[in-house]
Amino acid sequence: MCDRLIIFDTTLRDGEQSPGATMNLQEKISMARQLETLGVDVLEAGFTASSPGDFESVRQIAGVLKKTQVASLARCNREDVDTAWAAIKGALHPRLHLFLATSPLHMRHKLCKTPEEVLESVDLNIRHAAALCPNVEFSAEDASRSDPDFLVRVFDTAIKAGASTLNIPDTVGYAQPGEFAEFVRYIIERTPREREVVFSVHCHNDLGLAVANSLAAVRAGARQVEGTISGIGERAGNASLEEITMALRVRADYYGCLPGVVTEQIYPTCRMLSRIIGQPIPLNKPICGDNAFAHEAGIHQDGVMKKRETYEIMSAESVGRSSNLIILGKHSGRNALRRKLETLGYELEEKEVDLVFEGVKYLADRKEEIFDEDIEALVLEKVYRVPDRYRLISLSVQSSDAAIPPTAAVVLEARGEERRQVSFGDGPIDATFQSICQVTGRRPKLEKYQVNAITEGTDAQGEVTVRISENSVSAVGRGAHVDILRASALAFVNALNRLAKKEEEGGGQTW
């Protein structure tokens, strides 16, 4: 009989701290819904005290999820705890997640607190949190570099004050698997408790060991693992939840512990995240990378054809990488599209399906076959875009010839008013961006410009991702179109809209 492992997803909090991974409110709600469909047990929706935008997204996610616990992070102080509680108290299953550093380095240099003061703060603030919410988690930040006997005292205090989950983060990705397992086992064995509590781990990937350390901790008795989809997160990221889930499934014989994740939803979830943050899944990424189930060597191909298990330890279908069973084209109807959207993990309202359907018809006149990736690009384009302050109406670009430099004419709606501009540039993309800057009166720095073909073939849609920044605020924008110049203009306008939105919300994440 296997134990149940609790999966705590922090894609929308620690994951969003990853450079370039900011999501808008609508995108966070869609991700939260998908994570619930995936079957994560706890979803950390944000860090409410960090910005008004974070508070609002946590509050709205708390109102949407039905089965999944919704957590908000809070520092160990009364104001943070009250703010977090105000945002999650409407959830069906709320969880307050408090953290305070316990390593000598952090206590002395960052907190400027003595160990006794840290214990006092844990006691006081967890008591306050537990009086508000029956479900309280405490994280000892930088636990892996803390004195184990002091950590035992901290957890003893936290449990007596009302915490029911005790988290052991490897905040800076310093731990090594064998050593971390011993550390976790020591803490679990020594921490006194009169009621049942859960020990959890939260590993960062600075040395590429986040998944290995998490799994070693499971062997040592941890029964909650924290991580993110695709391992996105602060610096080199967090432990990748899809890798942990599949390791526990494939090697259930070894771990004797299973999560409640619906593994067939793994691929749709990773794809959705990748589209939303505009970062492609690396080809060789375990589980969801394009090469994860591709067999190139003849001997391997031969083996797999004779018996799949010769070179595959899990099936592509088990992680939701279904073959394209429903192929959409010119003659497909709304029902086929709705079913396709469901298999891709999108639960859309009727009017949103209509918007995507319009896009499918437009594409079908220009492309022979519509791929899953096209549909996903359309969903992002038509449904998840932030309400636009600027909207591209028309674009006409001329490449250079001997006498005339590249020229772009742009018609744009800005705050309800139609504006036009023609500009020269160093190339057609530069000319397009120049025109958009003139029309909007903005002068952001272009930090990144990336083009990907969404599918194969010369009729493929091009997907452009740009990152821009102005006055220390940065934003990512995406655009997809069969015409790469138009996709570039859409991405640039999308980034300007997101920048404007962030400025309205007060600058986004501050922690």
Which CA distances in Å does 273 have to 80, 93, 279? 28, 24, 8
Q: How is 50-114 classified by DSSP, letter by letter? A: G-HHHHHHHHHHHHH-SSSEEEEEEESSHHHHHHHHHHHTTSSSEEEEEEEE-SHHIIIIII---
Please identify which residue in 99, 155, 346, 371 interacts with ligand KIV, judged by CB under 6 A: 99
Q: Tell me the residue number closest to Zn ion, measured at CB.
A: 14
- Interface with ligand KIV, residue 14, by CB under 6 A: yes
137 near ligand KIV, judged by CB under 6 A: no
**Interacting residue with ligand KIV among 36, 41, 141, 376 (CB under 6 A):** 141
Residue of 8, 13, 14, 151 interacting with Zn ion (CB under 5 A): 14
Structural element, H or E, at residue 255: helix 252-255
Q: Which of 171, 228, 440, 465 binds ligand KIV (CB under 6 A)?
A: 171
Should residue 137 be labelled a site residue for Zn ion when binding is judged by CB under 5 A?
Answer: no
Minimum distance from residue 35 beta carbon to Zn ion (Å): 17
Which listed option, Zn ion, ligand KIV, none, makes contact with residue 139 (CB within 5 to 8 Å by class)? Answer: ligand KIV
Question: What Cα–Cα distance (Å) separates residue 353 from each residue in 90, 172, 268, 333, 479?
Answer: 29, 43, 17, 11, 19
Which region, judged by CB under 5 A, interacts with Zn ion, from 8-16, 112-120, 283-291, 458-466? 8-16
**Residue 138 backbone dihedrals phi, psi, to 5 degrees:** -120, 130
Rule CB under 5 A: is residue 381 a binding residue for Zn ion? no
> Dihedral sign, CA of 258, 260, 261, 263?
positive
Measured from the CB atom, the residue of 42 and 439 that comes closer to Zn ion is 42
44 binds ligand KIV (CB under 6 A): no
170 binds Zn ion (CB under 5 A): no
CA 451 to centroid of chain Cα atoms: 21
| Residue 227 binding ligand KIV, by CB under 6 A | no
Task: For ligand KIV, give the closer residue by CB, 170 or 372.
Answer: 170
The smaller minimum CB distance to Zn ion, of residues 36 and 141, is found at 141
The one of Zn ion, ligand KIV, none whose footprint includes residue 83, by CB under 5 to 8 A per kind, is: none
The burial of 86, by beta-carbon neighbours within 10 Å (0-12 exposed, 13-18 middle, 19 or more buried), is given as middle
Residue count (the chain): 511
Decide: 3 and 222 in contact? Cβ < 8 Å.
no
- Name the residue type at position 60: Q
Q: Name the minimum Å distance from CB 207 to Zn ion.
A: 15
Q: At its nearest, how many Å lie between Zn ion and the CB of residue 233?
A: 6
Give the interface size with ligand KIV as a residue count (CB under 6 A): 9
Contact by Cβ (8 Å): 363, 371:
no
What are the residues whose beta carbons fall under 8 Å from the beta carbon of 331, sequence distance 6 or more? Answer: none
Given the rule CB under 5 A, which of 13-21, 282-290, 308-316, 390-398 is the region that contacts Zn ion? 13-21
Nearer to ligand KIV, 144 or 423 (CB): 144
CA within 13 Å, CB half, 454: 31
Determine the size of the site formed for Zn ion (CB under 5 A).
Answer: 1
Shorter beta-carbon distance to Zn ion: residue 74 or 360: 74
Residue 124 C-beta: closest distance to Zn ion, Å: 24
Binding of ligand KIV by 139 (CB under 6 A): yes
When the beta carbons of 14 and 142 are compared against Zn ion, the nearer one is 14
Strands 224-227 and 257-259: unpaired
Instruction: Answer for the pair 84, 128: CB distance below 8 angstroms, yes or no.
Output: no
- SS3 assignment, position 503: helix
C-alpha–C-alpha distance, residues 85 and 328, integer Å: 45
The type of residue at 176 is: Q
Return the number of the residue (14 or 373) whose C-beta is nearest Zn ion: 14
Interaction partner, residue 390 (Zn ion, ligand KIV, none; CB < 5-8 Å by kind): none
* Binding-site partner at residue 141 among ligand KIV, Zn ion, none, CB < 5 to 8 Å by type: ligand KIV
Given candidates 46, 53, 162, 169, which one binds ligand KIV under the rule CB under 6 A?
Answer: 169
Minimum distance from residue 3 beta carbon to ligand KIV (Å): 23
3 state DSSP class of 401: coil
- Binding to ligand KIV in span 49-88, by CB under 6 A: 73
Is 9 a residue that touches ligand KIV (CB under 6 A)?
Answer: no
Phi, psi of 55 (to 5 degrees): -60, -50
- The residue among 50 and 279 lying less far from ligand KIV, judged by its C-beta, is 50
How far apart are alpha carbons 281 and 186 in whole angstroms? Answer: 37
CA terminus-to-terminus distance, the chain: 42
Q: In what order do the strands lie in the sheet with 462-470?
A: 445-453, 462-470, 473-481
106 binds ligand KIV (CB under 6 A): no
Token pair for 357: 């359907």
Residue selected from 33, 59, 106, 202 as contacting ligand KIV according to rule CB under 6 A: 202
231 touches ligand KIV (CB under 6 A)? no
Cα 487 from Cα 305, distance rounded (Å): 41
Q: Which residues bind ligand KIV (CB under 6 A)?
A: 14, 73, 99, 139, 141, 169, 171, 202, 204
Q: Which residues bind Zn ion (CB under 5 A)?
A: 14
